[in-house]
Amino acid sequence: MLQKTRLLATVAAAGLVWACGGGGDAGGDGDAGDAGGETAAPVVDPATAGAISGLIAFEGEAPAAERIDMAEEPECDDAYPGDGALTQHALVSSDGMLGNVFVYVKEGLGAGFPTPSQPAVLDQENCRYHPHIVGLQVDQPLLIRNSDPILHNINTQPSINRGFNISQPQAGMETTRDFGMAEVMIPVKCDVHGWMSAFVGVVDHPYFAVSRGDGAFSLPNLPPGDYVVEAWHELFGTQTANVTVGEGATAEVSFTFNAGMARNAVVPLGDPLIIKHAEDGSLTAVREPADD
């Protein structure tokens, strides 16, 4: 009973490029792992393809990690000896680099990138989501797995896509869903364990990544052109940069976040959402801060 959200534009786009095949690794793997993005889109000429790579730095004092009280779930609590489980909202390395930043090409790409058939994976293990930040493409399967022998519920809270909330009461249970529209980011939470949180970034092309623990990211195999790249962090908000990728060149771009940006962080859920219809049939969504 998987109900798929369809978007006219993406359906049309998928149809256009279906014959080209494709696919490949997309989606982050590991808590701050390099999120794929190396899909070989046949529309990209390998002879001229370039790349964007860079670092995410952090200035100032990062918010201290707090201990999560998992005493109510001994199965999970036992997995974190010593200091116990700590919050990981701000993953700052000893040399001031920021992990778990979702970086993606926001503007400058055409449509028509193939949809990978290989799923991105969101695992629940020891009462945490792995990875914390997942990236995937529109209509790409998201495999949600429960590796814990206890109940989790997966409550997705998108604004542009339809949010679902399902139970996974048993270890090994897997569910596959997808999102029909691009949306950065979709919060995911478990209501049984209030500390569990993940974010899913859905884009309509393969050029996205999650910064690793050392702050590094890369977006390979990009056609030459002018792009707007956005970096998103759950506490420190978003930043954009204009980047030009030359033929066969790797453009460097770096972002610096600081603790003072925290107040501009995650847009509160429930802010009014305006969905705009463009003439080409695509839809974009804008959130307006609530009056109060």
Partner 1 sequence: MAGGSGFRFARCALGMRSLLASLRGLRIVAAALAARIPGAAWSMPLPVGLSRVRWMGVMIAVLVALLPPARLAPAQDAASGEAIYRAWCLECHGAEGRGDGPAATHMLPRPRDFVGARYQIRTTASGELPTDDDLMRVMRDGLPGTAMPGWPNLSDQEKRDVVAYIKSFSPFFERETPEVLQRSADPGGGADRALAGREVYGTLECARCHGEQGRGDGRSAPTLEDWRGFPVRAADLSEPWLFNGGMGADAIHTRFLTGVDGTPMPSNQDALEAGVVTEEDLWDLAHYVAGLGPAEAPELEEVVRVERREQLPDGPADEAWDDLPRFYFPLVGQIVEPPRQFSPTVDGVWVQGVHDGAELALRVEWHDPSNSPDPGWQEWQDKIAGALYSDESAIPVEPLPDLLALQFPMTFSDGRGRPYFLMGEGRNPVYLWLWHSRRGAVEGRATGLGTAEVVDSGAGLTASAEWEAGRWRVVFRRPLAAADDGMLSFSEGAPIPIAFFAWDGSSGETGTRGSISAWYFIGLQPPPSNAVFMAPLVAFLVTGGLGMFAVRRAQKSYRG
Residues that bind partner 1 (CB under 8 A): 1, 3, 5-8, 72, 150-151, 153-157, 159, 162-170, 173-175, 191-194, 268-270, 272-273, 275, 277, 283, 290-291
Measure the CA–CA gap between 47 and 246, rounded to whole angstroms: 12
Taking the least distance from each CB to partner 1, the nearer of 88 and 157 is 157
Alpha-carbon distances of 94 from 58, 91, 218, 277, rounded to whole Å: 10, 10, 21, 45
Taking the least distance from each CB to partner 1, the nearer of 13 and 154 is 154
Provide the token pair at 250: 């790797």
Taking the least distance from each CB to partner 1, the nearer of 83 and 291 is 291
Taking the least distance from each CB to partner 1, the nearer of 7 and 14 is 7
Query: Cβ distance 168 to 156 under 8 Å?
Result: no
Shortest Cβ 120–partner 1 spacing (Å): 17
Tokens 């939470």 appear where?
189
Shortest Cβ 185–partner 1 spacing (Å): 15
Shortest Cβ 33–partner 1 spacing (Å): 26
Measure the CA–CA gap between 14 and 139, rounded to whole angstroms: 9
Taking the least distance from each CB to partner 1, the nearer of 66 and 174 is 174
Taking the least distance from each CB to partner 1, the nearer of 9 and 210 is 9
Measure the CA–CA gap between 136 and 179, rounded to whole angstroms: 9
Shortest Cβ 114–partner 1 spacing (Å): 23
Taking the least distance from each CB to partner 1, the nearer of 32 and 144 is 144
Measure the CA–CA gap between 29 and 56, rounded to whole angstroms: 18
Measure the CA–CA gap between 168 and 124, rounded to whole angstroms: 10
Residues whose CB falls within 8 Å of the CB of residue 292, separated by 6 or more in sequence, listed in order = none
Provide the token pair at 134: 């997942």
Shortest Cβ 188–partner 1 spacing (Å): 12
Cβ burial, residue 246 (10 Å; 0-12/13-18/19+):
exposed
Shortest Cβ 173–partner 1 spacing (Å): 5
Measure the CA–CA gap between 100 and 28, rounded to whole angstroms: 10
Measure the CA–CA gap between 52 and 38, rounded to whole angstroms: 12
Shortest Cβ 162–partner 1 spacing (Å): 4
State CA 171 to chain mean position distance.
25
